[in-house]
Every structure is written in structure tokens, then in C-alpha cells.
């Protein structure tokens, strides 16, 4: 048998390499597309923060940083570019210490907005997107925010379903006769009844959303909801420890259009092992309930007026 010329052999090997690369590229294409469209949204970071980020060298992988988590009702009732943030959670991640602090910001908090005037803090995102939400929180809470993550209602439910549900010890019977029937509904202004029974159980995306979103029959109102949101976030963290990079395309597919972040893929890659390593007892949960706000009617709306003299010292214990 005649020997193949070396150029032919090289071409054949190159062909296999290209073919294999194309296979890998095709597999990760959804993840690449989501990464391209949804991650690294640095233009959403306010100028002041961006300057700080740009002025400092690339942070070490184990340098602590602060993320603003934003969750929105993004059903048909709202203009997709002007949604309220029903959930705002400041998260301080200290990779070296393997410690995480979560601080829920009440959505009804009446504050000066970075875009001008005063309103409930959930309107900041509606008026100016992530940039305004970050700038508002930074200015009012005197903290520096490095990154943000935004997720829509459907994104949360799809992600939980993708992960096969989450295990949660639901704190009490969560009952709501006026729960918005706005997800996958033809009439988004309707209501439905919700009953999440108490105790350890496995929640799918829909049930988990009902658990974290219901607020009408909770003595603590939005504060109760904040506790529950943090609880489900921790349950999600517990589930993500089983994920591998091969799961990214599926995750990207379900989050398509329902997820945005300023974080680069590299930072997310560094963050995943940290999420796995942090023990549940190393997560400090803070909800501004009991003496940090007073409720008032402002411009005909129910609002919470912040008592900054109490809030700021608490916040600065964990957030620089």
C-alpha cells in the first residue's frame, strides 16, 4: 500500500480537528449567544462605578465583590424595557473567606432616584434600567456595586425547572387569594389563588415562584417575601453545585431574554466554585424588618420611608 503524502495526512488531521471544533462550537452555541447578548453588560454599570472598575487592575479571583440581584415582573403588562424590580438583593461575596452576605432591599422603599425625583426604589430600573438601579442603590445606601444580575419571572421558573426543582423547608402556609395570574396567562390582569403548604418539600418552578412572590396574606408583607426569596436563592445555590459546563447550553436556552448581567464569563466561571464552597451557615441573611423603616402614604401610594440612621450602620457592617 502506497504511503499517503504528508500534506494529505496533515489535511486529514486538520479536517478532524475542524470537524471536532465545529461539533463543540455547535454544542456551546446557545451558551455563546446568551453570553454575547446577556453577559458583560458593562455599559449598564454607572459611570462612577465603571470608572472605579476601569481604574483598578483586574481584581484577583478571590477579591471580595458586591453584586446587585434584580428580579422583575416582566409579563405582558409591562413594556419590556420599563419593568419594575420586585426583588432587589445586595450580595457581598468574599471568596477567600467563603462567606456571603445577602441584604434584601424592600421594593416599597421611598428614596431619591438617580434619574431625579423620589419614588419607590423598584421604579429605578423602570426609569433607567440597571444603570439607574445601581446608581440609586449606591447613592442611597453608600455602597459600591461591582456587578449586577437581572432575571425575569419566566427565567426564574424555567431555571428552577431545568434544575429539576428545589428542596425548600417552606416556613408556613403561604396563602394568597389575590396572586397575580400573569405568567403564561391570556389575561395578565387576572388573579388566582395560591396555597403553598408548610414544611420540607420539593418545589417546581411554578410553586417556587408562588412561594417567593406571594405577599398579600403575610403579616410581614414584602419583608416576608424577602425572607422567602433569600431561602429559594440558597436552595438554588445548593442545586447548582451539581451542574457542569456541559449544562450551560441548556441553561442559556431557558434564560434567553430573561437574564442580563454585567459579569464577564470569566468571573461567572470563578464564581461557580465559590457558590459550591460556601456552607449554608456561612451565608448571612439580612432583611430590613423591624425598626429600619416606617410605613406612610406618599402620593397616594403605600411606601416605606427609610430610617437611614439605622440602615446605614447595618449595611456598612458588610458592604463597603
| Site of interaction with other proteins (CB under 8 A) | 12, 15-16, 18-20, 22-24, 26-28, 161-169, 171-178, 190-193, 195, 197-202, 216-220, 223-224, 227, 231, 234-235, 239, 242-247, 250, 280, 287, 289-290
3-state secondary structure 269-289: HHHHHHHHHCCHHHEEEEECC
- How near is the Cβ of 65 to other proteins at its closest, in Å? 26
Nearer to other proteins, 173 or 257 (CB): 173
- How near is the Cβ of 49 to other proteins at its closest, in Å? 32
- How near is the Cβ of 185 to other proteins at its closest, in Å? 11
- How near is the Cβ of 8 to other proteins at its closest, in Å? 9
- How near is the Cβ of 132 to other proteins at its closest, in Å? 30
Nearer to other proteins, 132 or 234 (CB): 234
Nearer to other proteins, 115 or 217 (CB): 217
Nearer to other proteins, 61 or 268 (CB): 268
Nearer to other proteins, 112 or 249 (CB): 249
Amino acid at each position: 500500500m502506497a504511503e499517503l503524502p504528508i500534506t494529505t495526512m496533515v489535511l486529514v488531521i486538520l479536517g478532524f480537528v475542524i470537524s471536532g471544533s465545529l461539533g463543540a462550537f455547535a454544542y456551546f452555541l446557545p451558551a455563546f449567544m446568551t453570553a454575547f447578548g446577556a453577559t458583560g453588560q458593562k455599559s449598564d454599570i454607572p459611570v462612577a462605578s465603571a470608572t472605579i472598575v476601569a481604574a483598578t487592575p483586574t481584581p484577583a479571583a478571590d477579591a471580595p465583590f458586591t453584586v446587585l440581584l434584580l428580579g422583575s415582573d416582566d409579563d405582558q403588562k409591562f413594556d419590556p424595557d420599563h419593568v419594575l424590580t420586585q426583588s432587589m438583593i445586595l450580595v457581598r461575596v468574599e471568596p477567600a473567606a467563603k462567606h456571603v452576605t445577602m441584604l434584601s432591599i424592600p421594593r416599597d422603599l421611598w428614596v431619591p432616584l438617580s434619574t431625579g425625583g423620589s419614588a419607590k426604589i423598584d421604579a429605578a430600573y423602570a426609569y433607567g434600567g440597571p444603570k439607574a438601579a445601581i446608581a440609586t442603590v449606591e447613592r442611597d445606601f453608600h455602597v459600591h456595586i461591582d456587578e449586577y444580575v437581572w432575571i425575569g419571572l419566566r427565567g426564574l421558573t424555567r431555571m428552577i425547572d431545568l434544575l429539576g426543582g428545589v428542596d425548600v423547608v417552606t416556613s408556613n402556609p403561604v396563602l394568597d387569594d389575590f396572586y397575580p395570574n400573569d405568567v403564561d396567562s391570556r389575561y395578565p390582569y387576572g388573579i388566582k389563588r395560591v396555597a403553598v403548604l408548610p414544611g420540607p418539600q420539593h418545589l417546581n418552578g411554578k410553586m417556587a415562584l408562588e412561594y417567593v412572590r406571594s405577599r398579600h396574606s403575610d403579616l410581614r408583607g414584602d419583608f416576608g417575601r424577602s425572607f422567602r426569596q433569600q431561602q429559594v436563592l440558597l436552595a438554588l445555590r445548593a442545586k447548582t453545585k451539581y451542574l457542569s459546563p456541559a449544562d450551560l447550553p441548556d441553561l442559556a436556552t431557558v434564560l434567553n431574554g430573561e437574564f442580563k448581567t454585567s459579569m464577564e464569563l470569566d468571573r461567572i466561571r470563578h464564581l461557580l466554585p465559590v457558590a459550591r464552597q460556601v456552607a449554608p451557615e456561612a451565608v448571612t441573611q439580612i432583611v430590613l424588618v423591624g425598626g429600619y423603616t416606617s410605613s406612610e402614604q406618599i402620593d397616594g401610594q403605600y411606601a416605606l420611608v427609610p430610617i437611614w440612621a439605622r440602615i446605614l450602620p447595618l449595611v456598612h457592617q458588610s458592604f463597603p
